[in-house]
Structure 1
Amino acid sequence: MTLEFGKTIDEDVVEQILSTLPPKSLKRFQCVSNRWHALITTPRFVAKHLSISRHNNLSTSVLMKRKVHEDTNSDETQEFFSFLHFRNDEDNDVDGVHDEHSFLSSIQEFHIPFSTGVKTWAEALIIIGHCNGIICLAQAVSGEVIICNPAIHEYKLLPPSPYLPDSDWPYSAIFRFRDGLGFGYDPNFNEYKIVNIGFPAPELSTPDGYNIYNPPKAAVYTLGTDAWRKIKTDTLETETTILWPQIFQMHFKDMCFWLAPEQHKELDVLDEDEEQFIREVIVMFDTGDELFHNIMLPDEFDYPSKNYFVPNLLVWKDSVALLGIQISQFSSYGIWVIDEFGGHNGGAWTKHITFELPVEPLIFWKSDRVLLNDPNDTDYRGLILDYNLDTKKLKNLPVQSERSDSSAIVYVSSIVSVLGGSKPKNKDNSTPNAEFSVFEYPSPLVSHYMVDKKTYSYSMWAIPSDDASLRIKKVMEGLRTEFGGPEIDPHIAVVGSIRMKHEDMLNKFRSLQSDVISSYKAKVNQVVTRSSYFQCISLLIHSSFEVSPELYFATGVSGGRFHFCNEVRPHLSLLYGYLTEEERKKAQEKVSYLDEGLSSLSFFITRLALYKIDYKDRSLKSWEKIADYPLQFE
């Protein structure tokens, strides 16, 4: 670059100066010359600009969705998306005069073209997540997904996903569309991805009084292809339970995070209100290998020692963390940080701090600073407050919102395009990875822990007598010959998805020998088919006290020993697999052809066994029996 007086500036210096400018300025400077336009739009420059923006220690931006009543006598509200720009220095004295708002440098509203202003709850836009300056939003009822980069005023409406279940879900539409969405970045291929997890409608109140829940389905959208693909959800299902990823929490490094209740696949209608969910876990989606993983919460969040619940996950001091609320005192909070992945519960957690908050938190915008927004009828209702955990100072910000629909994210500005800007290509037309990756990760990556360390759960099985097992195995072999699938040892899962320390679990299993002593009879009710992998074709076992009192007792005692409030509905699976509805019907008919009397078979349970199970291994070769004991014949 040549200046007046014959002086020049090196191109590297020009690039360095430009890379520190805000996106709005860079959009203008693209018009200065073709050379500057070419420079600013290269993936290398975009990545460099983002890296500088991410490491900016002078200020922090928070994007907040606010809802304000236009008229105190009306339910209609105005929806605003506002940027709150904070100074990170702690000097709040301006010209020697204290100003409690001086650390809030500016408030900036931005308009989304797809937003129409006044909103009912059903029309509102919801912030799903943020990554590298790109924001993902969804409309509550229609499920339309929007991605945008407000810093450069780019917006994109995504095509609908063709792979998710039909919208005949009996619960509220806002639950159906919003909860399964997630947004993240794949650094290996420099791709932005939206994950959508759909929940097939359950079969409610069956003739025998059960609600049957089906495993979730999922699809992923890739910005580079502008298309959806169906992906596997194998690890969101165990023998007896399913995981329900709920409202998306965050993207961190190359992982998407949800909180997810775990529940039995089949629940007695009379018991469901008492205890529908077994536990809450964290579900993660690896944007690289596109697989789901899950880890347990700390012991304080699980029964029998539960005394906290989780409102949300957060990134705290560059680590995955939990914000917990004490059940007995709603003003008392704690933060747990995960130290490593793996182990009996999938991760090792350390509690770092506890603190009191005057009202409910909205978001941590620094490790020691939190925005508050109280939904209750208190003096703080509708106010946005800043609270310093160290000094315990509370400041009222000049912005308001009704908390019932407020949300906020920490935002990093960038010039990353959502409209399919050019990407560098290798000679083989593949997308390069590390050189143009916009994320710089410390080693090791989160996902490497998950790939290298298996997370096991345990299952307690009731084993049929030898003669019954031999008869059932012949039917299993006939089904596998036609439909495929792994070889299964005949069993009924009495308690599934046990997640606790190995020694504690063994002690509880051994203690059952003093309670469940005698062999007991199991009677087949019917041959059933399910859309789930582990109950594809199975024998449904009578479980009522009237028909099978000994089985009813053994199942209840075993479940209670492992802190399960609801008993597993007993099935003996004949075939594992994903079959179409037509194939399942054909397989069901073949069971009758192979053994006509199997649908009314009665047999004895002669042994209880404990198995260690890696549900990612669909070959079952790694499934391992770790303890068992025989039941006595009376």
Structure 2
Amino acid sequence: MEGDDPYLPPEIIRNILKRLPVKHLIRLQCVCKDWKYLLKLPSFIEEHLHHSTHQNPSILVDGLSPTDILQLYLLDTEMQLLEVHSASLIDLLRDATIVDSSNGLLCVRLSCSSHPILLWNPAMRRVRVVAKATNCFEDKYYKLGFGFCSIVNDYKILRISASNAQDWQGEVYSVKTGLWKKVECGTFDGVSIWCSSVVANGNIFWFGFKPNGESRVHLLVSYNLALEVFTLIPSPISFLKPIDLLLSRLTVYENKLAILSHYTIDFESSVIDLWVMEEETGTSDERWDWTKKYSISHPCWLVPRTIWRNNLVCYLDIVAFRRISANDGKNIVLVNLTTNEFKIVVIHKCGIGYPVLNYVESLVPVENDYTEEL
């Protein structure tokens, strides 16, 4: 109205703010005390995360820096490739690898450090140095898993000693309490785990195997983040040859555990199948049903990594890429699971063995020990 002071109801302001990128929200904390308070409310953080997850999901790619410093890139929904700013973290991120991404938080493993695990929110430019694990096992081949448990509203890091398949040792770190505690691993009769972990429906999963004479029995290892118990799941190996497992990948499809199985037709073509675990029933008659959702064939060698916005994300073999581009880097391919449309995203010297993860910007705090100036 003419003569009245400009006014927006608080609910409209809140609805506008939840749609903004994190870097803008951090600056807007200086506008007034009410906004600064709002942006730290758990309810607003959850609203912003929900909006970002559905409207602005990204994929995070390791760019394979020649200096062994973790160099990450984000590919957003507009197909823009953005470098993740980490200049002030160079000393911390040397020889580092990403364990997993969850709600905007990255779990980072350092190869040389007395405190080898970090939690990093790149959007907020904040890092938490995770307390050193209390268990004294010093297995350099230990496995890490990281994920959010909605039942207890907590982020957890699982650490397992994987060198001795007869005697597993493990401990779990709670971000909420800042403490490690021992977890009962049970007896797994020679089971070993390999590949990177993936989190689906509150469980961390790995591929696993155990010796069976001169061959191996393949399976899945599951860790429930709420109950903090392990389960062995028969792997759908009936449709996977052992050699194909080397390039197959665990992923998540429509919030369900899935496998991207990979096999080659010849040296220049490949087939990737998407299998989804549809059902799990408990008690003594546990059953896991797998359904093949897609089968994709292309006249070049693709290495599957993850699912993003109904796209299969793969690495493209360097020889195949040189036939269609002058760039000498390994690059990302997006294959639409509905239309089979094929897109290439150039990321110079992107390494085939390095992570490609789903990522979303968030205001989720890390209770930081270190804050980078904006």
Normalised by the length of structure 1, the TM-score is 0.51
Taking structure 1 as reference, are residues 255 and 112 closer, same or farther at Cα in structure 2, changes over 3 Å only? farther
Q: CA deviation at 1:406?
A: 2.5
Q: CA deviation at 1:420?
A: 6.5
Q: Distance in 2 between matches of 1:322 and 1:153?
A: 33
Q: Is the 8 A contact 2:262 2:273 kept in 1?
A: yes
Q: Is the 8 A contact 2:73 2:81 kept in 1?
A: no
Q: What is the match of residue 379 of structure 1?
A: 322
- Matching of residue 260 in structure 1 with residue 235 in structure 2: no
State which of 172, 175, 191 in structure 1 corresponds to 2:154: 191
Q: CA deviation at 1:253?
A: 3.1
Q: Distance in 2 between matches of 1:392 and 1:318?
A: 22
Q: What is the match of residue 99 of structure 2?
A: 128
Spell out, residue by residue over 1:90-136, the C-alpha distance to the aligned partner (whole angstroms, 9 max, x if none). xxxxxxxxxxxxxx23423321644349x9xxx52111001111011
Q: What is the match of residue 318 of structure 1?
A: 255
Q: Distance in 1 between matches of 2:119 and 2:175?
A: 10
Q: What is the match of residue 57 of structure 2?
A: 60
Q: What is the match of residue 86 of structure 1?
A: 77
1:254-403 matches, cutoff 5 A: 254-263=202-211, 274-275=214-215, 278-301=216-239, 308-309=244-245, 311-326=248-263, 331-342=270-281, 346-357=287-298, 358-359=300-301, 360-374=303-317, 379=322, 382-389=329-336, 390-403=338-351
Taking structure 1 as reference, are residues 230 and 306 closer, same or farther at Cα in structure 2, changes over 3 Å only? closer
Aligned to 2:148, the other structure's residue is in SS state strand
- Matching of residue 408 in structure 1 with residue 356 in structure 2: yes
Aligned to 2:77, the other structure's residue is in SS state strand
Q: What is the match of residue 144 of structure 2?
A: 181
1:223-234 matches, cutoff 5 A: 223-234=175-186
Structure 2 segments unaligned to the other structure (5+ residues): 370-374
Q: Distance in 2 between matches of 1:109 and 1:291?
A: 35
Q: Is the 8 A contact 2:221 2:230 kept in 1?
A: yes
Stretch of structure 1 that moved more, 155-164 or 375-384: 375-384
Q: What is the match of residue 41 of structure 2?
A: 42
Q: What is the match of residue 372 of structure 2?
A: none
The number of residue pairs the alignment matches comes to 356
Q: Distance in 2 between matches of 1:132 and 1:262?
A: 33
Q: CA deviation at 1:404?
A: 4.7
Q: CA deviation at 1:299?
A: 4.3
Higher RCO structure (Cα 8 Å, ≥6 apart): 2
Q: Is the 8 A contact 1:164 1:217 kept in 2?
A: no
Q: Which amino acid aligns with 1:374?
A: D
Q: How big is the alpha-carbon RMSD for the aligned residues of Structure 1 and Structure 2? A: 3.1
Q: Is the 8 A contact 1:54 1:412 kept in 2?
A: yes
Aligned to 2:84, the other structure's residue is in SS state strand
Stretch of structure 1 that moved more, 248-257 or 307-316: 307-316
Identity %, equivalent residues: 21
Q: Distance in 1 between matches of 2:138 and 2:197?
A: 25
Q: Which amino acid aligns with 1:255?
A: N
Q: Is the 8 A contact 1:184 1:193 kept in 2?
A: yes
Q: Distance in 2 between matches of 1:189 and 1:420?
A: 21
Q: Distance in 1 between matches of 2:334 and 2:199?
A: 25
Q: Is the 8 A contact 2:248 2:304 kept in 1?
A: no
- Structure having the larger proportion of residues in helix: 1
Q: Distance in 1 between matches of 2:53 and 2:2?
A: 32
Q: Distance in 2 between matches of 1:378 and 1:15?
A: 46
Q: Distance in 2 between matches of 1:191 and 1:77?
A: 32
- Bigger radius of gyration, 1 or 2? 1
Q: What is the match of residue 170 of structure 2?
A: 218
Q: Distance in 1 between matches of 2:25 and 2:311?
A: 33
Q: CA deviation at 1:399?
A: 2.1
Q: CA deviation at 1:375?
A: 5.9
Q: Is the 8 A contact 2:278 2:289 kept in 1?
A: yes
Q: CA deviation at 1:328?
A: 6.2
Taking structure 1 as reference, are residues 141 and 10 closer, same or farther at Cα in structure 2, changes over 3 Å only? same
Q: What is the match of residue 24 of structure 2?
A: 25
Q: CA deviation at 1:387?
A: 3.4
Q: Distance in 2 between matches of 1:161 and 1:38?
A: 34
Q: Distance in 1 between matches of 2:233 and 2:174?
A: 26
Spell out, residue by residue over 1:347-367, the C-alpha distance to the aligned partner (whole angstroms, 9 max, x if none). 111112211242323433232
